[in-house]
Amino acid sequence: MKIGIIGVGLIGGSFAMDLRKVLPGAEFFGLDKNPEHLKMAADMGIIDTEGGDPEIADADIIFLCIPVDAAVRELPVLLDKIGDEALVIDAGSTKKQICAAVADHPNRRNFMACHPIAGTEFSGPKAAMQGLYEGKTNIICEVEKTAFKLQEKALDLFARIGMRIRYMNPEAHDKHIAYVSHLSHISSFMLGKTVIEKEKNERDIFDMAGSGFESTVRLAKSSPAMWTPIFEQNKENVLETLREYIHNLEEFRKKLAEEDMAGIYKEMEDTNKIKEILKGIPLNKKES
Amino acid sequence: MKIGIIGVGLIGGSFAMDLRKVLPGAEFFGLDKNPEHLKMAADMGIIDTEGGDPEIADADIIFLCIPVDAAVRELPVLLDKIGDEALVIDAGSTKKQICAAVADHPNRRNFMACHPIAGTEFSGPKAAMQGLYEGKTNIICEVEKTAFKLQEKALDLFARIGMRIRYMNPEAHDKHIAYVSHLSHISSFMLGKTVIEKEKNERDIFDMAGSGFESTVRLAKSSPAMWTPIFEQNKENVLETLREYIHNLEEFRKKLAEEDMAGIYKEMEDTNKIKEILKGIPLNKKES
C-alpha cells in the first residue's frame, strides 16, 4: 500500500507513525512546503521518501494535513491528480469551506472530510507521536458523499489506530467546534496577551505563576499560521462565541463591582458541573 | 514537635504529609469546620488526632489553611491562644487583608504571611498529596514582621520540603497574583459557563472537545467557597485585570469582524512568547 502524507507535522506525522504499526509493508511518501520539515520527517523515519505528482497518481491513500486555507486551495487540485481508487482524507479544524470547495468535483467520491480531535499546542514533525489518535474522536462530515468502498477502507484504518467516530454535517461541526475549541484558543491567547502586557517590565512576576496559569495559557503557544485561517473560515461562528463569552465576563465583572458575592458564588457553583462533562475527554499521552 | 493543621484540605493536608517526612516524631493535630474532612484526614494518616484550644496553646507550629475570609476572622483569635514561641503560618491566596487584620496584634511576631503557589482545582483531604510543594514558589509577605528565630524555623522547613522563596509586600502580591492566578480562574469559569449554556441541550457535543478545551476550563472545577472570598478581598485588582482582558477580547473580535487577518496573526505571534515564560513554571505531579 502506498500512502501519501501532505503536511508532515503533528497531525500528518502522527498518522504515518500510527499507520505504520497497523499496516506493515506500507510505503509512506511525504510532501511539505517546508523543506526542513520534509527532511526532518525522513530522518525521523516518519516518511520513507519525498513525493511528487507521480507518487500522488500512484497512491492508495493520501492524508491532507495542512492549514485550512491551503487545504481549500489544494484539495481540488489534488483530486485532479489521484488514481480512480484513491482515498483522500483531510484533517482540517473547519469543514464547511473544504466541503464546499469540492462539492461539485468529479472525484468528490474519493474524498473523506475528517476532523481528528487530537491537536496540541505543538506543531511540526517533532511534535508527531505514536498513539496520538488512540481513544480520540474523529468527526466525519458528509460521509454519504464518499464512495462506499473507500468509507469502509477509512473506517477500518481509523478503528485500527483506536479512533472513535462521530458523524456530523459541516455546518453543525463548524458551529459547535467554535465553542469547544476555537473559543478556548482565543481566550488563552488574550489571557497570555493581557498578562504579558502588564508584566513586561517585571519578568520575576512569572515566578508567581502556578500550574493553573500554565493550563489556561497553554494554547497561546499554538501556531498563528494554523489558527489564522481557521478563525477566518469560521468567522461568523467564532464572533458569536466571542460575543457570548465577553458578555459573561462583563456580567461577572458587574457582579464583582457591585459586591454581589452570592451571585459570584452561584456562577461558579453552576459551572462546577463542567467536572462531569470533562470526565469524558481523553488527554494526550504527552500531557497525561 | 507539635504541629497543628487548621483546614485539613489540599493545602493543609499536603503540608502535613510533606512535613511528616522531614520531621520524624512530630505529632500532627487537625481542626476543620467539616467533621467529615477531619475524620477522613485522620483515617488517611494526615493527622494523628483532632485538636482544640489546649492543643493550640501547646503547639510549636500551626498552619492556617482555610478560605481567606475565614482566615482574616480566625487569625487574630488564633494569635491570642498560642504559646510565646509558637509560629503561625497562613497559606491564603490574598495577602493584604490578612496582614492588615493582625498589623497591631501583640503577637504579630508569631505570624508569617505566606502564599504557597501550589493549588490545584481540587480540594479536601483526598486532594492532598506528598511532594505537592517540591519545586514550588512560596511567597512570603512582610517577613521583617516575623520574629527572627521563627523566620529561621519556617525557612528551614520550607527548604526541607523543596520550596523556593520569594519576598513581596502584600500590596504587590495581590496586584500581580490577580494577573497570573485570579484572572485565569475567571476566564476558565466564564469559558465553562459559555459552553455549558450553549450546549446544554446537546450533550454529545462534548465528544467534540479535546485536550485544549479541557486545559482551558480545568480551573472551572475549583471550589466556589474558596474562590468567592479571594475575589472579594482582591476586588479592585481583579476588576482591573478583567477590564484589560475584556478589552483585549473586544479588540480581537473587532479585528476578526473586519477580517484583519494580518492583525489576528500578529496578535497570536506576539503572544507566542509565552512559551519562554511558561518554561519556568513547575507542574504538579498529578498533572505532569
Residues 144-183 of A with CB under 8 A from B: 164, 166, 173, 176-177, 179-181, 183
Mean pLDDT of A258-287: 82
Residues 209-248 of A with CB under 8 A from B: 209-222, 224-225, 227-229, 231-232, 235, 238-239, 241-246, 248
Mean pLDDT of A85-114: 98
pLDDT for res B284: 53
**Residue B286 reports pLDDT greater than 50:** no
pLDDT for res A121: 87
**Residue A254 reports pLDDT greater than 50:** yes
Of the pLDDT bands very low, low, confident and very high (cuts 50, 70, 90), residue A245 is: very high
**Cβ of B281 and A210 within 8 Å?**
yes
Residues of B in contact with A132 (CB under 8 A): none
Q: Helix, strand, or coil here: B68? A: helix
Residues of B in contact with A179 (CB under 8 A): 194-195, 198-199, 205
Q: What is the DSSP letter of B232?
A: H
- Put simply, whether B271 touches A (Cβ < 8 Å) is yes
**Residue A287 reports pLDDT greater than 80:** no
Chain A / chain B CB contacts < 8 angstroms: 324
pLDDT for res A288: 32
- Put simply, whether A190 touches B (Cβ < 8 Å) is yes
Residues 120-149 of B with CB under 8 A from A: 120-121, 136-137, 139
pLDDT in tens, B135-176: 999 999 999 999 999 999 999 999 999 999 999 999 999 999
Range name among A263-267, B39-43, B205-209 with the lowest pLDDT average? B205-209
Residues of B in contact with A246 (CB under 8 A): 246, 249-250, 253
**Residue A249 reports pLDDT greater than 80:** yes
Query: Who among B120, B202, B248 is closest to A211 (CB)?
Result: B120
Measured between alpha carbons, how far is A149 from A85 in angstroms, rounded to an integer?
Answer: 9
Tell me the nearest-neighbour CA distance from B258 into chain A, angstroms.
Answer: 10
Beta bridge partners of A154: none
Residues of B in contact with A249 (CB under 8 A): 186-187, 190, 242, 245-246, 249
**Cβ of B199 and A208 within 8 Å?**
no
Mean pLDDT of A42-59: 98
Region of B7 (left: φ > 0; alpha: ψ -120 to 50; beta: rest) is: left
- The answer to whether the CB of A146 falls within 8 A of the CB of A126 is no
Of the pLDDT bands very low, low, confident and very high (cuts 50, 70, 90), residue A251 is: very high
Mean pLDDT of A74-81: 98
- Put simply, whether B193 touches A (Cβ < 8 Å) is yes
Q: Please report the DSSP string for chain A in residue order.
A: -EEEEES-SHHHHHHHHHHHHHSTT-EEEEE-S-HHHHHHHHHTTS-SEE--HHHHHH-SEEEE-S-HHHHHHHHHHHHHHS-TT-EEEE--S--HHHHHHTTT-TTGGGEEEEEES---S--SGGG--TTTTTT-EEEEESGGGS-HHHHHHHHHHHHHTT-EEEEE-HHHHHHHHIIIIIHHHHHHHHHHHHHHHHHTT-GGGGGG--HHHHHHHGGGGS-HHHHHHHHHHTHHHHHHHHHHHHHHHHHHHHHHHTT-HHHHHHHHHHHTTHHHHHTTPPPPTTT-
CA within 13 Å, CB half, A284 = 24
- The answer to whether the CB of B241 falls within 8 A of the CB of B140 is no
Question: Does residue A165 or residue A121 have the better pLDDT?
Answer: A165
- The answer to whether the CB of B261 falls within 8 A of the CB of A232 is yes
Measured between alpha carbons, how far is B194 from A277 in angstroms, rounded to an integer?
Answer: 14
**Residue B279 reports pLDDT greater than 80:** no
**Cβ of B190 and A281 within 8 Å?**
no
Amino acid at B27: E
**Residue A30 reports pLDDT greater than 50:** yes
- Put simply, whether A282 touches B (Cβ < 8 Å) is yes
**Residue A174 reports pLDDT greater than 90:** yes
pLDDT for res A277: 76
**Residue A286 reports pLDDT greater than 60:** no
- Put simply, whether A23 touches B (Cβ < 8 Å) is no
- Put simply, whether B286 touches A (Cβ < 8 Å) is no
**Residue A281 reports pLDDT greater than 80:** no
Measured between alpha carbons, how far is A194 from B188 in angstroms, rounded to an integer?
Answer: 15
**Residue A285 reports pLDDT greater than 60:** no
> Does ipTM surpass 0.90 in this model?
yes
In chain A, count of helices (H) and strands (E)? 13, 8
pLDDT in tens, B54-113: 999 999 999 999 999 999 999 999 999 999 999 999 999 999 999 999 999 999 999 999
Of the pLDDT bands very low, low, confident and very high (cuts 50, 70, 90), residue B283 is: low
Of B199, B227, B224, B228, give the one whose Cα is nearest residue B213. Answer: B199
Range name among A266-280, B142-156, B186-200 with the lowest pLDDT average? A266-280
Of the pLDDT bands very low, low, confident and very high (cuts 50, 70, 90), residue B201 is: low
Residues of B in contact with A194 (CB under 8 A): 179, 183, 241, 244-245, 248
Interface test with B, best of A169, A177, A186, A240 (most B CBs within 10 A): A186
**Residue A29 reports pLDDT greater than 60:** yes
Q: What percent of chain B has pLDDT over 90?
A: 87
Residues of B in contact with A243 (CB under 8 A): 253
- Put simply, whether B77 touches A (Cβ < 8 Å) is no
**Cβ of B248 and A194 within 8 Å?**
yes
The average confidence (pLDDT) of chain B is 94
Tell me the nearest-neighbour CA distance from B81 into chain A, angstroms.
Answer: 31
pLDDT in tens, A176-210: 999 999 999 999 999 999 999 887 766 667 778 88
Question: Which domains are seen in chain A, by residue range?
Answer: 2-169 (3.40.50.720), 173-278 (1.10.3660.10)
pLDDT for res A201: 64
Of the pLDDT bands very low, low, confident and very high (cuts 50, 70, 90), residue A282 is: low
Mean pLDDT of A159-170: 96
CA within 13 Å, CB half, B207 = 17
Query: Who among A190, A210, A274 is closest to B118 (CB)?
Result: A210
- The answer to whether the CB of B189 falls within 8 A of the CB of B218 is no
Beta bridge partners of B168: B141
**Residue B205 reports pLDDT greater than 90:** no
